[in-house]
């Protein structure tokens, strides 16, 4: 699996960098965990500081577009992102009560 960063935009107010990347060269749609690990290697940050917003794939194409937010620290991520996104990024199977 290869990841190519298409766009980086710094958001100083929320202490994050908004990233769009293209994922190619894979056999099946990559999992959130795989994308998080590869993106952290590519950007040189901790996995705990990345919040995946979307993994989108067009029908019949072997490439996906990933939208993610990279925070300065895991504490900033937990303070700003919704609880559901934090739980999804941690990979835990918890039921969220509304």
Domain ranges (residues) in the chain: 2-90
For the chain, the three-class secondary structure string (H helix, E strand, C coil) is CEEEEEEEEEECCCCEEEEEEEEECCCCCCCHHHHHHHHHHHHCCCHHHEEEEEEEECCCCCEEEEEEEEECCHHHHHHHCCHHHHHHHHCCCCCCCC
Could you tell me the CATH superfamily of domain 2-90?
RRM (RNA recognition motif) domain (3.30.70.330)
Q: Is the pLDDT of residue 92 over 60?
A: no
pLDDT in tens, 15-61: 999 999 999 988 888 888 899 999 999 999 999 899 999 999 888 88
Determine phi and psi for 40, rounding to 5 degrees.
-65, -40
CA distance 24 to 7: 16
pTM of the predicted structure, to 2 decimals: 0.79
CA distance 56 to 38: 16
pLDDT level of residue 94 (50, 70, 90 thresholds) = low
């Amino acid at each position: 699996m290869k990841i190519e960063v298409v766009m980086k935009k710094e958001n100083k107010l929320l202490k994050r960098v908004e990233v769009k990347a293209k994922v190619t060269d894979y056999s099946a749609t990559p999992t959130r965990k795989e994308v998080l690990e590869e993106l952290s290697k590519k950007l040189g940050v901790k996995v705990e500081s990345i919040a995946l917003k979307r993994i989108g794939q067009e029908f019949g194409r072997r490439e996906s577009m990933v939208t993610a937010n990279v925070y300065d620290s895991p504490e900033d991520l937990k303070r700003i992102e919704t609880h559901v996104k934090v739980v999804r990024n941690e990979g835990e199977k918890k039921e969220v009560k509304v």
